[in-house]
Each structure stands twice: as C-alpha cells, then as structure tokens.
Structure 1
Amino acid sequence: MKKVMYSQYGGPEVLQLVEVPQPVAGPKELLVRVRAVSLNPLDWKLRAGEMKLVAGSKLPKSVGIDFAGTVAGVGATVRAFQPGEEVFGLVDVLKGGALAEYVVVSEQQVARKPAGLSFAQAAALPVVGSSALQVFEQLIKLRPGAELLINGASGGIGMVATQLAKRQGARVTAVVGPAGLAAARQWGADTVLNYREQSVHSLGRRFDAVLDLSGQLPFAQARPLLTPAGVYVHSAPGVREIVGSFWHNLFSKQKYRVLLLKPKAAYLTTLANSNLDVVIGATYPLADFQRAYAEVAKGGIVGKAVFTVD
C-alpha cells in the first residue's frame, strides 16, 4: 500500500510516498480503508523536528493523525464494529501514520461516521474537535454570559470552539482575517473582527477567557484584555510557553493555560453526536502531499484542509 513518510527532518520536500506492506489488524484492532485525512499544524511541527523531546528522534516517521474511512477488517475480539461500516478517528498523535491507504487502530480510536458528514468533513473533526472539547472541559470553564475571545477563529479549532461556546451560552468575539468573516458569523460568533482593519485592543473590553489559536496574541499582549481572574489559553505551546505558564500561575489570579492534546474515546462520541457545521477550505489528492503541506502551513485556510485518498 502507499504511505507518506519521511527519513529526515525538514520541510515538505523531505516527505516521500512509499510502498509498504499493508498492516494487519490484531485481535482487538480494526483495519480501516482510509478515504480522507486531515492536515494539522502538529504534522509539520513533528516533521520539522520541533518535538523530538516528546515524540522521540527515531526515523523514519509517518504523517497524518485524523482520518475517516471504511472498516476493511476486524480482529477476533472486536464486537463494536463490522466490515463495511464508515468510521472516523485518529491514530497516536505523536506517531502519525494516517496518511496512507490503510491504517490499523483500536476500537477506542474510532467512532461511527455521522451520516450527515462526508468522509472529508469527518476526517477534519477528531484533532480540532478533541482540542476544543478539552479546552472547555479542562482549561476554560464557561458559564452562560461569559465573554470569550477567540483569536484566529476561522481555523479548525476555532470552527468547533465557536460553535461549542455558543451552545454553552457564552458571548464569542472572533478575530479572523478577511476570508474568515462569513464563516465566523455562520458558526455563531456574536462579534466578528477583521484583524487587518481593527485591533482587538481597540474594543475597550475585558474577556473572561482568551483562546489564542493563531500564535499572534502572546500572553503578555493578552493580559490587558483579561478580567482580573480571566484565563488565557495557548493552543500550540512550545517549551517556553509551558515553562512560562507554570511560573506565572504560581503568582497571579489571571491564569495562563496551555493545550496539550490528550484524545479520549468519549470526545469522538461527543463529536459524532454534535451536529457541527464543518467547513472544508481546501481539498488535495494524496499525490499532492508536498504541495498541500507547503500551502496549508502558510495559513489562510478557512475551516480545515484535507487529503482525499482514492
């Protein structure tokens, strides 16, 4: 089968489409014929070698985390799924390997694909959806009427976070680029700000929570926007942010949180039943893997970008 891998760290040029043996499902596993795979910033952070401390440095490595497809086979003890069923899910976040024609996963790593979503839409959900659910479960405790600022709200996490926050009764201010204005309104944001025309600091408002999804609103700049007990969340922290948040939280009522994704089977079930509006901003065939990663890493995609695997 075909699979995208890399044998050295670097840019998209180090990626290769290789032929490898088709995996075999173990007794408690499923073999899934992949139909679509999502692109995530974590893909290129791992490929660039930025996360060796947690992901290890052994090469070669694979890419792709979340996917959707059809069950091609099940292990002897699997009872929850049958061949032919449509599923979506994610592989080990730090190992990757979903960008392939087939993938082997456990029952806990997949859920049934919602009938109302295409394979591309379903593949787009697991990482960003799990991230948004984890933020509101562990990092930001929203209450009805809470003021939430989402910076970079037109991307994948912002797409889900905006919808979930509105369902919890929060008032959402979404900061996006020109291309994301319509989508942010479609997802329910109460205030939509074009960062190219207006700074969020010009609003003269304080927020109970600030969720920075773009990496362009560091904690030092976000603090004046927070209420005295407000919470700031960094969605793609490095070592500096992780250490800095720890020390800051020892001495301040304003809290600095970092998102370190820990997927759970329950998140997939919740996403499958959430009836979310999932926007696909770009679609690429598997053969265009280098071009896809080069383009998507530049930003500007509204919603999510996905590969189709035929």
Structure 2
Amino acid sequence: MKGIGISRYGSVSQLKVIDMPTLPLQPDEVRIAIRASGVNPVDWKIREGLLQHSFPYELPLVLGWDGAGVVLEVGEKVHSLQAGDDVFFRPEIEKHGTYAEEINVPERFVSLMPKGLTYAEAASLPLVGLTVWQALVEVGNVTEGQNVLILAGSGGIGSIAIQLAKTLGARVTTTTSTRNVDFVRSLGADEVITYDQPQSHTLPHVFDFALDTLGGQHYLDAVGWMKPNGTIATIFGGPHESRPFSPVAVEKNIRIEYVFTRPDASNLHHIKRLVEMDRLKPTVTETYPMTVEGVHEAHMSNQTGRTKGKIVLVRERDQDIH
C-alpha cells in the first residue's frame, strides 16, 4: 500500500511516497479504498513537528486524517457496513492517515456518506463536522435564541460552525476579512465583524457561546465579548498547550473548554442527516490530485491561513499514488 507522508519532520520538501505493508483486517474494522482526503492545519503542523509532544509518532508516517471512499472488505464483527458502501470517516490521529490508497478503520469511526455528495465533498466534512458538533452541541449546548460567536467564519471549521449554529436556532456573529463578508453571510451569519477594518462599535457582554479557532488576541477579544457565565470552546493549539490567561474570564466566570476532536460515527450520522436535510452544505474551494506535488500545493495553500472553506485531495479510481 502506498501513501504520502514523511520520514522526517520538516518543510514540504520532506513529503514523499511511503510504502507501507497492508495490515491484516481486525474483526471490528473495515478496509476502505480512499477516493478523497480533506486537508487540515493539523496535517502540516504534524509534518513540521510542531505537535511532537502531543503525538509522539514513529516515522515514517502517512499524513491526513479526513477521508471518504469505498468499503472493500469488512471484519467479521462489522454489521452496519458492507463491501461497496460509500463512506466518510475520521481515523485515529495517532495512526497512519488518509493520504493513501487504502486504510483500515474501526467501524465505530465510519458512517455512510450523505446522499448526493461527491467523494471530495464528503471528505471535507469529517474533521470539521465532528469538531463543530462536539464544540457547539456537546460543550456549548447551544440552543435556540442564544447569541453565538464564531471566530474565522470563512475557514473550514468556521464555515460549518455558522451553518450548525443557525440550524440550532442561534443568532450568529462571525469574524472574517472584508473580502469574505458575502461568503459568510451566504452561510447564514447574522452579523459580521471584519478584522481588517476598524470597528465602529464594541460588543460588551453579548455572547452566550463562542468557538475559538484562532487563539491569541482574537481569543482574548472574544473573552471580553462574553456574557457572564458564558462558554468558550477553543480548538487552538494542542491538547497539552496552555491558553493565554485572562483575568476577565475569571471575573466573568467564563467556562473555557478545549475541544480535542474525537472520531465518532454517531456524530457523523448527525452530520449526514443535516446534509441530506439541506441544512448543512460542504464548502470545498480547492482540490488537488493525491500526489506528492498535489499535497505540496495543498499544504502551501493551507499554511497561508487564508483558506476559504476546505481543501481536498482527490484520487481517481485505480490511480497510483506518486
């Protein structure tokens, strides 16, 4: 089995084809022929070695933890899936990833693809969909009528978070650049804060819940805009990294929870249902071939921090990885 990854940490120059043995299928696993893989900041952060303390990998490592494809084979204890099913999934980030021809994944992490989506669209959803569901529903308990703040609403996570928050009945404010105002409004944002333009108003004590995808000063600004006893879910940094200290958060009794996205088929079933109800749409804005050069270009684009929606790698049927 071939994949694309690294034998040592570093820049995009370290990307290479990795030859991996085909592992035996465990009773609770499915073997999936990968047709597309989402690209996320965690991919290049791991490639550069920025998360070594959180994830002490043994190299070489196939990158990518967001996928869609076709089930080739199922283990003897698998009951919800069968060969030929189109599926989407997020594998365990501690193991080899989805920039690959095939992958073995436990059944409990795999869902049937939403009807009507391409593999690229489906592959754009698992990591961001799981993150947003676990942040807004499980941590934030967002309900109808609440005021919700989404930082970086035009990005992969933000673009899905806006849609889910609206589906939950919240009033949504998001931050973005001036050039993406129309885009985030098309997703359902009620109010937009443009970070590259001076603001004519302040937002004291407005929000019940905020999703922080940026950290730093953006996170501290969000703390200042929260209602007393509000909740902030943050995905910035790694699970063992400290957050900027805010005395305001202490004074206002703000609950701050780090969301470490976990693979979960039951959560993906919720995402699938919302897509099929036309309440949530994937936002794929860039696609690249699943080749070393394609991964190189995808990582360079994602590292600009200006990605609108999601970047996806696509592997055509029977295409060799090179």
Q: Flag whether TM exceeds 0.5 (same fold).
A: yes
Which has the higher mean CA deviation after the structures are superposed, 117-126 or 14-23? 14-23
Whether contact under 8 Å (1:72, 1:83) holds in the other structure is yes
Match in the other structure for 1:309: 315
C-alpha contact 2:173 2:192 (8 A) present in aligned 1: yes
In structure 2, the residue matched to 1:109 is 109
> Mind listing any 5+ residue stretches in structure 2 that lack a counterpart?
317-322
TM-score (norm 1): 0.91
**Percentage of matched positions with identical amino acids:** 31
- Aligned-CA RMSD value: 2.3
Q: 1:160-309 residue pairs with structure 2 within 5 A?
A: 160-199=160-199, 202-205=201-204, 206-215=206-215, 217-238=217-238, 239-241=240-242, 244=245, 253-275=253-275, 276-287=280-291, 288-309=294-315
Q: Deviations over 1:278-299 (max 9, x none)?
A: 1101101012111211121112
Query: CA deviation digits over 1:168-214, x for unaligned, max 9?
Result: 11110111124432331122111123322244x83435222222223
Closer, same or farther in 2 for the Cα pair 1:176/1:72, shift >3 Å? same
Q: Which amino acid aligns with 1:308?
A: V
Look up the match of 1:129.
129
Structure 1 gaps of 5+ residues are none
Q: Offset of 1:249 from its aligned partner?
A: 7.2
Residues 120 and 280, structure 1, Cα contact 8 Å, conserved in 2: yes
Partner deviation per Cα, 1:57-116 (whole Å, 9 max, x = no partner): 422222110100011122233232221110110111233421101111111111111112
CA distance in 1, matches of 2:22, 2:189: 44
Q: Which residue of 2 aligns with 1:19?
A: 19
Q: Distance in 1 between matches of 2:9 and 2:53?
A: 14
In the superposition, relative to structure 1, how do residues 149 and 101 fare at CA in structure 2: closer, same or farther (>3 Å)?
A: same
Change (3 A) 1:79 1:57: closer
Helix, strand or coil at the partner of 1:144? coil
When residues 58 and 19 of structure 1 are mapped into structure 2, their CA distance, relative to the original with a 3 A threshold, is: closer
> Which moved further from structure 2: 18-27 or 95-104?
18-27
* Structure 1 residue ranges, 4+ long, deviating more than 4 angstroms after superposition: 242-245, 247-252
Q: Distance in 2 between matches of 1:74 and 1:138?
A: 30
Task: Give the C-alpha shift of residue 117 in structure 1.
Answer: 1.2
